[in-house]
Amino acid sequence: MQEVKKPRKPLIYYYAIVLAVLLLFNFLLMPWAAERQVQEVGYDTFIEMTEKEEIGQVQINQEDNEVIFTNKDGDKIYKTGMVEDPGMTERLYASGAKFSGQIIEQMSPVLSFILSWILPIAIFIGIGQYMSRKLMNRASGGPDSMIFGMGKSNAKVYVKSSEGIRFSDVAGEDEAKENLSEIVDYLHNPAKYREIGASMPKGILLVGPPGTGKTMLAKAVAGESNVPFFSMSGSEFVEMFVGMGASKVRDLFRQAKEKAPCIVFIDEIDAIGQKRDGRVGGNDEREQTLNQLLTEMDGFESNNGVIILAATNRPESLDPALTRPGRFDRRVPVELPDLKGREEILKVHAKKVKLDESVDFNKIARMASGASGAELANIINEAALRAVRENRSFVTEADLEESIEVVIAGYQKKNAILTDKEKRVVAYHEIGHALVAAKQNNSAPVQKITIVPRTSGALGYTMQVEEGNHYLMSQEELENKIATLTGGRAAEELVFHSSSTGASNDIEQATKLARSMITRYGMSKDFDMVAMETVNNQYLGGDTSLSCSAETQAEIDRQVVELVKKQHEKAAEILADNREKLDQLADYLYDRETITGEEFMNILNAA
């Protein structure tokens, strides 16, 4: 989309004017004035200048007992006291000085006073007047209402343009698109809605994890409806001075009303829309900005054609006054894409790169489970970069697979040297995971196992691929997952009779899973369907806080340990039962460093 920004004189422009005036005053006017001033010198200087024939004009004031004289060029005026000096007149005459009958023109004291006092004061009063006029204007909400542009909204305005983002550029997210296409229809044909008395929602809140295409959707609404699009981030409203943010909100809405019908998009609205709490010394500036936003949203008619879209990934932190009907009265969830969505997003972005025709997008989408739209776009780009690095003119499936690994685990570490023993331990660890996963019916098949160290610190990993979408997970599946996670350590214990630090990440994940099963999914006998934990930050990492008594906490801890222990034992048992295969596979992996799921299954299923 074409971006048009209003030209704005930056603050530095005004400072530059003040500086220029001061410099002019100091470097030009003052020396000039100083030159016009009479310089007082000693009589010896006078004699010396006479001897050197440097005196131009001279005037002797008998009454004041002084001699005033100039240099040869006449641009400097000197004064000295009269001394008994009988030969002075002759010497002066001989040196070629002219005796002036007139008084040498001195700068009048009045002019000197004006230059050194009145002029600077006048300049500063002038600047002061200018600023106060701006302030008055601002108070009255006039068009010129910002001091030095500080309260200007600074919103980026995108105007209609043929190359704007369309709904077709946003892959997946069908529910969100359906919801928003109503807005597009309204902007095209408001009369249809007005006739029946229906009014459009004033504000629509797009909520979802980062990188799922919220900004894209907002731009697509503007692109589809061919109206101007104002875009601003919540944090841009927050200023150092109290009241500035509010002024920016006013300015934004004023501009929007002028351009209606149009779309105003506020990204990361939680920066200003956070719940106002009763804390003493809270953030005044933010609260004022929020209040102004609430007032502005109340202040315009719902049918005037200004639609406000806002995006956030922390909907729970928003002030209830903001989300009530009449303000942001519609909430559109923009979730992480499912398998089909991921495939479509990959295809949309793959159009931008040259691709080998045999690429199986479904497989790539399955490998990238849990990735957001932004991550998928990144995967495609990483793959293209890898193709360039390897001097190929198109991207292959292997590039895509490698770039998923880069996004998950970082780049391959070129110079990490493992000892032979370490490499063997890592090989057993990874095969441990894969074997436990494969032997449990419900675990996803293994795609790839590698023991090439990665920059993320992983010494090896087992990549599992989901067959399809998983919306629900049964207790058994979760337990199997924990068993798979403990499989690595179990293999080390079985073969080397010792533990290594390599399992720290597995331990963390297994604990988290076991904890959720007990505190949130109601999968323990003792607690039945009681929630012990609440999730605070659904879209950003999902931190939890406990809501139970200290005794219950202790009991939860005990049950978590019990659950993990049981699965650990199960994993150990599976590995012990398949000890021969374990050794065989670990040796194979040790030699090859990277093996595919297929090779793994072939060895496992071989007689």
Q: Which residues are catalytic?
A: 430
Query: Contact, 112 vs 33, CB < 8 A?
Result: yes
Report the nearest approach of ligand ADP to the CB of residue 170 (Å): 5
Whether the link from the prior residue into 315 is cis, omega within 30° of 0, is no
Report if residue 207 touches ligand ADP, rule: CB under 6 A.
Answer: no
Stretch that binds ligand ADP, among 181-189, 214-222, 561-569, 591-599 (CB under 6 A): 214-222
Report if residue 214 touches ligand ADP, rule: CB under 6 A.
Answer: yes
Report the nearest approach of ligand ADP to the CB of residue 586 (Å): 40
Footprint of ligand ADP on 227-266 (CB under 6 A): none
Q: Which two tokens stand for residue 97?
A: 């000085």
Query: Contact, 566 vs 560, CB < 8 A?
Result: no
Report if residue 179 touches ligand ADP, rule: CB under 6 A.
Answer: no
Is 213 known as a binding-site position?
Answer: yes
Pairing of strands 77-81, 38-40: parallel
Report the nearest approach of ligand ADP to the CB of residue 285 (Å): 25
Which x/- pattern, by CB under 6 A, does the window 339-378 give for ligand ADP? Answer: ------x--x------------------------xx--x-
Which is nearer to ligand ADP, 151 or 373 (by Cβ)?
373
Is 370 known as a binding-site position?
Answer: no
Which is nearer to ligand ADP, 347 or 363 (by Cβ)?
347
Q: How far is CA 562 from the centre of its chain?
A: 43
Report the nearest approach of ligand ADP to the CB of residue 374 (Å): 3
Which is nearer to ligand ADP, 210 or 243 (by Cβ)?
210
Query: Contact, 2 vs 231, CB < 8 A?
Result: no
Which is nearer to ligand ADP, 9 or 351 (by Cβ)?
351
Report the nearest approach of ligand ADP to the CB of residue 575 (Å): 41
Give me the amino acid identity at 441.
N
Is 450 known as a binding-site position?
Answer: no
Report the nearest approach of ligand ADP to the CB of residue 397 (Å): 20
Q: Which of 49, 97, 115, 171 binds ligand ADP (CB under 6 A)?
A: 171
Is 337 known as a binding-site position?
Answer: no
- What is the signed CA dihedral for 282, 285, 286, 292, rounded to 10 degrees? 130
Q: Which of 157, 170, 263, 436 binds ligand ADP (CB under 6 A)?
A: 170
Report if residue 172 touches ligand ADP, rule: CB under 6 A.
Answer: yes
First to last CA, the chain: 62
Contacts of 223 by beta carbon, 8 Å cutoff, 6+ apart: 1, 160, 164, 165, 166, 229
Residue environment code for 138-163, b if the CB has 16+ CB neighbours within 10 A, otherwise e = beeeeeebbbbebbbbbbbbbbeeee
Q: How many CB atoms lie within 10 A of CB 220?
A: 24
**C-alpha angle 367-369-370 in degrees, rounded to nearest 5:** 150
- C-alpha 438/C-alpha 431 separation (Å) is 10
Query: Contact, 46 vs 69, CB < 8 A?
Result: yes
Backbone angles phi, psi at 435, to 5 degrees: -70, -45
Is 215 known as a binding-site position?
Answer: yes
Which residue's Cβ has the minimum distance to ligand ADP?
373
Q: Which of 80, 153, 212, 519 binds ligand ADP (CB under 6 A)?
A: 212
Which is nearer to ligand ADP, 39 or 362 (by Cβ)?
362
**C-alpha angle 594-600-602 in degrees, rounded to nearest 5:** 135
Is 433 known as a binding-site position?
Answer: yes
Is 544 known as a binding-site position?
Answer: no
Which is nearer to ligand ADP, 133 or 352 (by Cβ)?
352
Query: Contact, 304 vs 257, CB < 8 A?
Result: yes
Query: Contact, 573 vs 487, CB < 8 A?
Result: no
Report if residue 506 touches ligand ADP, rule: CB under 6 A.
Answer: no
Q: Which two tokens stand for residue 221?
A: 């609404």
Which segments of 9-130 are extended strands (E)?
38-40, 55-61, 66-71, 77-81, 98-99
Report if residue 311 touches ligand ADP, rule: CB under 6 A.
Answer: yes
Report if residue 176 touches ligand ADP, rule: CB under 6 A.
Answer: no
Stretch that binds ligand ADP, among 29-37, 138-146, 169-177, 403-411 (CB under 6 A): 169-177
- C-alpha 375/C-alpha 354 separation (Å) is 19
SS3 at position 200? coil
Q: How many CB atoms lie within 10 A of CB 119?
A: 15
Report the nearest approach of ligand ADP to the CB of residue 321 (Å): 24
Which is nearer to ligand ADP, 203 or 597 (by Cβ)?
203
Is 142 known as a binding-site position?
Answer: no
Q: At what angle do helices 550-577 and 475-496 cross, to 10 degrees?
A: 60
- C-alpha 104/C-alpha 196 separation (Å) is 92
Report the nearest approach of ligand ADP to the CB of residue 167 (Å): 10
Instruction: Kindly list the distances between the CA atom of residue 3 and the CA atoms of 155, 169, 229, 250, in Å, as whole numbers in the listed order.
Output: 11, 19, 9, 22
Q: Which of 203, 213, 487, 502 binds ligand ADP (CB under 6 A)?
A: 213
DSSP type of residue 395? B
Report the nearest approach of ligand ADP to the CB of residue 373 (Å): 2
Q: Which of 120, 149, 190, 210 binds ligand ADP (CB under 6 A)?
A: 210
Number of residues that bind ligand ADP (CB under 6 A): 17
Which is nearer to ligand ADP, 335 or 593 (by Cβ)?
335
Is 208 known as a binding-site position?
Answer: yes
Which x/- pattern, by CB under 6 A, does the window 377-406 give for ligand ADP? Answer: x-----------------------------
Footprint of ligand ADP on 267-306 (CB under 6 A): none
* Interacting residue ranges for ligand ADP, rule: CB under 6 A: 170-173, 210-216, 311, 345, 348, 373-374, 377
Residue positions in the annotated binding site for ATP?
Answer: 208-215
Residue positions in the annotated binding site for Zn(2+)?
Answer: 429, 433, 506
